[in-house]
Amino acid sequence: MPLKNVLVVSYSQTGQLADIVREVVAPLRAAGHDVHVETLVPETPFPWPWPFVDFVDAFPECFQLDPPPIRPLSPACDRSYDLVVVAYQVWYLAPSLPVTAFLQSADARRLLDGKPVVTLVACRNMWLNAQATMRRLVAAAGGRLRDHLAFIDQGPALATFITTPRWVLTGRRDRFLGMPPAGVAPEEIRGASRFGRALAEALDCDAERGDDPMLSGLRAVNVNPRLAISERAGARAFAIWSRLIRACGRRGQWRRRPLLALFVIYLVTMIITVVPLSLLLQTLLAPVLRPRLAALREQLESPSGSQTHNLARYES
């Protein structure tokens, strides 16, 4: 059987995404495939935990896809790969800045051109807009997006509006006021190995050269269409706010801080009023909305889907 070369490009601050990547990669290596994990390194590191001002000040450039530079890739990236996995976190409904920087680079065009690409996201729970951007960036680099895997924080959607920012701003992710710990559940992280096993089998029979998803039937994603509607509204507002704030100055400049403060007030107001109200309204209107939400869900879950028919085969 021809062994394949797999490149995994990743950037994670806490190591959570790196843990998920490790689970996916282990079965590929066990099957004899050659996997190189390239960890992106920003030229100026991003802080962890984030000071509040830096956290807010990162928003406009995240959303407008204007990243600061990353360090050159390691020499292992000079070769050609059979499959590329891009693992990312979401920052302000967009891919994190280091991943955006990579996908916009000449290196990405060389590595992805004509190649099958699998995207993997681990974030709070709002990744739809970021994934739409990833689709565009992967396509612009010449890559063929074949599968997408999504890992989200374990708490209820509304609780994560508190637990995830608390984690990002203080570094503390433990159980808080009765809410589950921030981040992806440990059993979900361990379960990521099923994707590695399925990918290894797909590579063994050259399935990466085709066009169909390789990871369907494995509950690769699970979209809550009700959150999708809130996220769409958020993305529309972010487009306006990010342009306005950038018109006042560059990242780090004092003169854009008054507008950043207004943005924070807007964001908090939305989270405590509009998001719960919109979820409540959608629950009340569920009988009317159901067919539309089902169609939206199917569209947003492509290509890999939320079906589970292959789980028994690849779960350990």
Ligand X SMILES: Cc1cc2nc3c(=O)[nH]c(=O)nc-3n(C[C@H](O)[C@H](O)[C@H](O)COP(=O)(O)O)c2cc1C
Residues that bind ligand X (CB under 6 A): 12-14, 16-17, 50, 55, 58, 89-93, 122-127, 164, 168
The smaller minimum CB distance to ligand X, of residues 23 and 34, is found at: 23
Q: How long is the chain?
A: 316
Nearest approach, Cβ of residue 269 and ligand X (Å)? 17
Nearest approach, Cβ of residue 222 and ligand X (Å)? 14
Nearest approach, Cβ of residue 42 and ligand X (Å)? 13
The smaller minimum CB distance to ligand X, of residues 40 and 203, is found at: 40
The smaller minimum CB distance to ligand X, of residues 161 and 314, is found at: 161
Nearest approach, Cβ of residue 12 and ligand X (Å)? 3
- Amino acid at the residue 66: D
Residues 46, 55: Cα–Cα separation, whole Å: 9
Residues 83, 138: Cα–Cα separation, whole Å: 13
Nearest approach, Cβ of residue 160 and ligand X (Å)? 8
Residues 182, 201: Cα–Cα separation, whole Å: 33
Nearest approach, Cβ of residue 31 and ligand X (Å)? 26
Measuring CA to CA, which residue among 76, 58, 63 is closest to residue 5? 76
38 pairs with which residues across the strands?
Answer: 9
Handedness of CA 94, 126, 7, 308 (dihedral sign): negative
Find out whether 146 and 175 touch, Cβ atoms under 8 Å.
no
The smaller minimum CB distance to ligand X, of residues 164 and 193, is found at: 164
Residues 136, 201: Cα–Cα separation, whole Å: 28
The smaller minimum CB distance to ligand X, of residues 127 and 314, is found at: 127
Residues 98, 145: Cα–Cα separation, whole Å: 19
The smaller minimum CB distance to ligand X, of residues 169 and 289, is found at: 169
Between strands 144-152 and 5-10, the pairing is unpaired
